[in-house]
Amino acid sequence: MHEQTLKLAALWAREQERDALLAERAGLEAGVRRQQRQLADARALAASTESQLKALQDEERRRTERMNVAAKRRDTTQRLIDEGRASDYAAAMKQVELSKAVVDEEEDALLPLYDQLEAAQTAATGAASGVKVVEGRLREAEAKLAERAPGVAEALVPATAARDAARDGIHREWLNRYDDLRKKNMGVFGDVRDGVCQGCSVKLVPTELAEHRRGVATHYCKSCGRFLGELL
């Protein structure tokens, strides 16, 4: 390879080393944020299931109380009838029938409600357990970040210095192209196989490829812009 190409390759190697450290730190930070989002979702779900459970419990208490009041009224009125102490027999009988209807209505409503309560309790218990699980994962992610972040920050200092030093001696034209490729999040080099750029699968100019092969000039693919790399 040409001297400038070799310098660019060295710069690219230093850049990748630095990028790996940045990616590690970003990954650790992203892991914490991901667990934080999942914890917020888990807590929202737990709150929702707990609210649904409470609403069903309130309804169960209301219906049970109404049924018990109606049953007591039915039994009391029936006893008055049986003992001949009802002041108005017809009204008392109507009261018994109305009370029985309320009891039957509430019993019919309570049977499926008990099933709903059981399901809601199971869901609430599961959601609460889910919160604890995610809380544990968040603590682990935070611990990993706290453990590794100082080392990454320390390693970034020499890695950045090495990257900056590697830029020395490279012509401005090539540095500008290199920086443009980096801004586009593209690989800087495209290896060559059978005269074809492996970065974009376009056939290269034979004369430029020959110069690259002999190391007499630095060339880049006119299609994708990558510098010509290894000959495979």
Cα gap 177→218, rounded to integer Å: 12
The DSSP code sequence of 157-206 is: HHHHHHHHHHTTT--HHHHHHHHHHHHTT--SEEEEETTEETTT--BPPH
Q: What percent of the chain has pLDDT over 90?
A: 97
pLDDT for residue 143 is more than 90: yes
Task: Please state the rounded mean pLDDT for residues 88-93.
Answer: 95
Task: Please state the rounded mean pLDDT for residues 12-41.
Answer: 97
Indicate the pLDDT class of residue 159, thresholds 50, 70 and 90. Answer: very high
Helices and strands: H and E segment counts in the chain: 4, 3
Give me the sign of the Cα torsion angle 178, 184, 185, 188.
negative
Cα gap 30→184, rounded to integer Å: 22
Tens digits of per-residue pLDDT, 32-68?
Answer: 999 999 999 999 999 999 999 999 999 999 999 999 9
What is the model's pLDDT at position 189?
94
What is the model's pLDDT at position 205?
92
Tens digits of per-residue pLDDT, 111-135?
Answer: 999 999 999 999 999 999 999 999 9
Indicate the pLDDT class of residue 1, thresholds 50, 70 and 90. Answer: confident
Residue-averaged pLDDT of the chain: 96
Task: Please state the rounded mean pLDDT for residues 103-115.
Answer: 97
Which architecture characterizes domain 3-167 according to CATH?
A: Orthogonal Bundle (1.10)
Between 232 and 67, the more confident residue is 67
Which residue spans of the chain are classified as CATH 1.10.287.1490?
A: 3-167
What is the model's pLDDT at position 91?
96
Indicate the pLDDT class of residue 186, thresholds 50, 70 and 90. Answer: confident
Model's pTM, two decimal places? 0.78
